[in-house]
Amino acid sequence: MDFINEASETVAGAAADIKAWEAAHLEKVFVPFYSSADIRISSNKAAVVDTNIFPAGFNNLSPEFRDRLGLLIRDAISRKYPGTGKLLVIPEIHARNPHYWENVKTLEEVLRARGFEVKVGFVDDEIKRGAVSVAASGGGTVEVVKAARDGAKISAAGFVPDVVLLNNDFSNDCPTILRDIEQPVLPPVEIGWHSRRKDVHFEFYNSLAREAAAVCKIDPAIISIETRLIEDVDFDESEDRERVALVADEMAGTVPAGPLLFVKSNNGTYGMSVVAVSGGDAIRNMNAENRKKMRAGKSKKPSGQIVIQEGVETVLRTDEGMPAEPVLYMVETEVAGAFYRTNSKKSAAENLNSSGMEFRQFPDCVKDLRNIPELLSLCAKIAALAAGYEIEKVMLEGGCE
C-alpha cells in the first residue's frame, strides 16, 4: 500500500489545484447526480474499471457512509432545487434480486432520514396493478406504486414529487413517460446503458486522468486505463476474432502491468460479458462458452462492439485472503462512501463482479485502508466528470432517439 499512500499524499498536497481544476470542469459540464465507480488497485496503478450512473448496492454502505450519503444528497438537491420535499424513486421494477431491493429500501431510508417524503414508483405500462410489494433481502419489503403522467407532471397514487430519482438504467428502452416532464429527473433518463458506450466513457476518463495527473504532478499511467474499441465483432467469425486478437497482442506488448486484459461488451453492465485474457491467442482460440458470454449482455443482443481494456490485478485482500476491490459511491463529484466487492471463487487477476461475489463494509474487511485514500477519491471524481461529458455527448447525439 506504499504506492497508494505516497500517491495519495501527492494528490492531497495538490488539493487546492485539483479543486480549481474540478471547478473549471463543473462550469462546463453537468455531472450525474450520483454514480459508483469500481476501482482496481495494483502495485502501481489505481484506476476505475466501471462507472455506474444508476448505482445499486447502497445497502452495502456502512451506517456512517449512509449518513454522509443522505447529507450529500440533501445538500445537492437543496442547492439545485430549493424547497424540494417529495422524491419519487424509480427502481428497476423487473429486478428479481432481493439484494437489489434491499438497496432500494436503503435508499428510501437514507432519503427519509434526511426529511424527504419518499415514494417508490414504477412506470411500466405492462404492469396493470396499482402497487407491487417486493421482498428485500433484509426481510422487509418495498412498496412500489404505479406512477402515471398527468399532463407534464408525473405522480404516483396522488403523490406529486418535486424531483424524480432514477435507480434504473433502462437498459432496453427509454420510457417516454419520463421524458420532458416538468419535474427534474436525476440522472437524466436518456443516459441508461441503452445509450452508453464504454469506449466513450473511458476516452473522457483517460483524458481527464491525464489532466488531473498533470495538475497534481503524478505519472498519468497511475490512474489511466487503456481501453480500445473494436467494432462489428462476431466472436463466432474467426476473422473477427483475429482482428480482436491483433489489438490484444498489441496491448499485451505495451501494458506495463503485464499481459492481463479484459474483453468487455462496449455496452451492457452488471459484470456480464467480461472475459479475462492474457493476449491475442486466448481470443483466437476462444471456446464456445466464452464466445457465448460475449453476447450474454443484459439485453442479450449480439455484442457487435467490444472493448479490450488493460487489466489491473487487485492487490487488496480481505482478512480471509479473498481478492477485494473498492467500489466508491459518489454524489456529484463528492465521495459519499465505499465498500468492497470480494469474490471467493476468483483470483486477483479476474473480474470479481461475477458469480461468488460478496460485499463487505469499508474499511472493516481490508486492514490496509482505514480511510478512503485521496488517490481513489480522485479516480472516482474523474469517473464522475467523465460520466458527465459522456451524458452530454449522448444528449447532443439525440439521447434516446
Measured from the CB of residue 218, what is the shortest distance to a copy of itself in angstroms? 20
Cα–Cα distance list, 115 to 34, 70, 83, 112, 215 (Å): 19, 10, 12, 5, 39
Written in H, E and C, the secondary structure of 334-345 is EEEEEEEEEECC
| Neighbouring-strand partners of residue 36 | 52, 329
H helix and E strand count, the chain: 9, 16
Measured from the CB of residue 175, what is the shortest distance to a copy of itself in angstroms? 30
Q: Kindly tell me which of 313 and 332 has the beta carbon lying closer to a copy of itself.
A: 332
| Cell 406512477 found at | 147
Q: Kindly tell me which of 212 and 255 has the beta carbon lying closer to a copy of itself.
A: 212
Residue 12, classed as helix, strand or coil, is helix
Measured from the CB of residue 82, what is the shortest distance to a copy of itself in angstroms? 3
Measured from the CB of residue 35, what is the shortest distance to a copy of itself in angstroms? 18
| Neighbouring-strand partners of residue 276 | 262
In one-letter notation, the amino acid at residue 87 is L
Report d(CA 315, CA 364) in Å as an integer.
17
Q: Kindly tell me which of 82 and 139 has the beta carbon lying closer to a copy of itself.
A: 82
Per DSSP, 240 falls in state H
Q: Kindly tell me which of 116 and 204 has the beta carbon lying closer to a copy of itself.
A: 116
Q: Kindly tell me which of 76 and 181 has the beta carbon lying closer to a copy of itself.
A: 76
**Is the CB of residue 219 less than 8 Å from the CB of residue 290?**
no
Measured from the CB of residue 24, what is the shortest distance to a copy of itself in angstroms? 13
Measured from the CB of residue 163, what is the shortest distance to a copy of itself in angstroms? 14
**Is the CB of residue 91 less than 8 Å from the CB of residue 120?**
yes
Residue 21, classed as helix, strand or coil, is helix
Entry field: residues in the chain: 401
Report d(CA 325, CA 99) in Å as an integer.
19
Query: Taking the CA of residue 84 as centre, how many other CA atoms within 13 Å lie in the half-sphere pointing to its CB?
Result: 25
Measured from the CB of residue 54, what is the shortest distance to a copy of itself in angstroms? 23
231: left (phi over 0), alpha (psi -120 to 50) or beta: beta
Q: Kindly tell me which of 12 and 246 has the beta carbon lying closer to a copy of itself.
A: 12
Q: Kindly tell me which of 24 and 157 has the beta carbon lying closer to a copy of itself.
A: 24
Measured from the CB of residue 41, what is the shortest distance to a copy of itself in angstroms? 21
Q: Kindly tell me which of 11 and 352 has the beta carbon lying closer to a copy of itself.
A: 11
Residues that bind a copy of itself (CB under 8 A): 19, 23, 64, 68, 71-72, 74-75, 78-79, 82-83, 113, 115, 334, 371
